[in-house]
Amino acid sequence: MRPRKAVIPAGGWGTRFLPTTKSQPKEMLPLVDRPIIHYAVEEVVRCGAELVVIVSSLGKRAVEDYFDKNADLELFLERKGDTSLLHKVRQLADMADICYVRQKEQLGLGHAVLTAKQVVGNEPFMLVLPDDLFEQQERVLQRMADIFEQHQASVLAVRRVNEDQVSRYGIIEASSIGDRTYRVTSLVEKPKREEAPSNLAIMGRYILTPQVFEELENTSPGAGKEIQLTDGLRRLLSRQAIYAYEVEGDYYDAGTPLGWIKATIALALKHPEMGPEIREYLKSLVSVSRSDAC
């Protein structure tokens, strides 16, 4: 059985992107030609999600409006005869079956996941953090769903990070079972460099069994006084096996200004229409800044 539901948490404050995120959801920042959350919804739908549960909160109305039907705008574009834009706008409302749950207090990612408990029910689900993007975006969840199908156990996406970065992530200790797949033996949230069991960091893609909800309910607030998903996963590991899939290729954290700029450039370069022009533009910028430096 492959998971049929997906949870996309979008309830956080986005403090690393303030002041931009004071009045605008981080998940609605554009990446080239679409908002960040659009990529996440596309990704889970491609991986077979029949229901997408978005965790929303105060100030996130723009996310709900984005995936809603806008009859006035459609009428305007229809009258203008802009069929191409009309098609794009209509497609958004039909992209997926989406429902929203409200996180009333921003008590962390673990808490956001718990908010989706009633809607997900007693079945496995995909969890996608929208501001984590991978160069091999299309393949990551698919591969994780294959591993889930094989073992019927939770699967985490991990990636090797530099040792000086381990304190920013949830880190796993694991034994390799081949083909970039690991069996997890322990997990720790944001360890000190000297205490990290490895440099395999958990990155925003998960396939989780529903038992994680029970464990999150019994998880006390940890680092940053938030209910940490990694702490819930550590509890889950004491009753069930957890696997990890090591992602290849580049990764972008679009939740910070620098990461967002990098993701924008990388995606723009890959864009079929804009890519060639952006490449030339970047080359010209770099040569101008080189000659300025001389």
Question: Binding residues for ligand UTP, per CB under 6 A?
Answer: 9-17, 26-27, 55, 103, 106-109, 111-112, 129-131, 255
| CB closer to ligand UTP, 55 vs 200 | 55
Min dist. Cβ of residue 254 to ligand UTP (A):
9
- What angle is formed at CA 161 by the lines to CA 159 and CA 165, rounded to 5 degrees? 135
Min dist. Cβ of residue 256 to ligand UTP (A):
7
Give the residue nearest to ligand UTP (CB): 12
Min dist. Cβ of residue 55 to ligand UTP (A):
5
Min dist. Cβ of residue 26 to ligand UTP (A):
6
Min dist. Cβ of residue 10 to ligand UTP (A):
5
| CB closer to ligand UTP, 15 vs 150 | 15
| CB closer to ligand UTP, 18 vs 75 | 18
| CB closer to ligand UTP, 160 vs 168 | 168
| CB closer to ligand UTP, 243 vs 260 | 260
Min dist. Cβ of residue 271 to ligand UTP (A):
24
Torsion, Cα 140 146 148 150, to 10 degrees, reads -150
| CB closer to ligand UTP, 153 vs 227 | 227
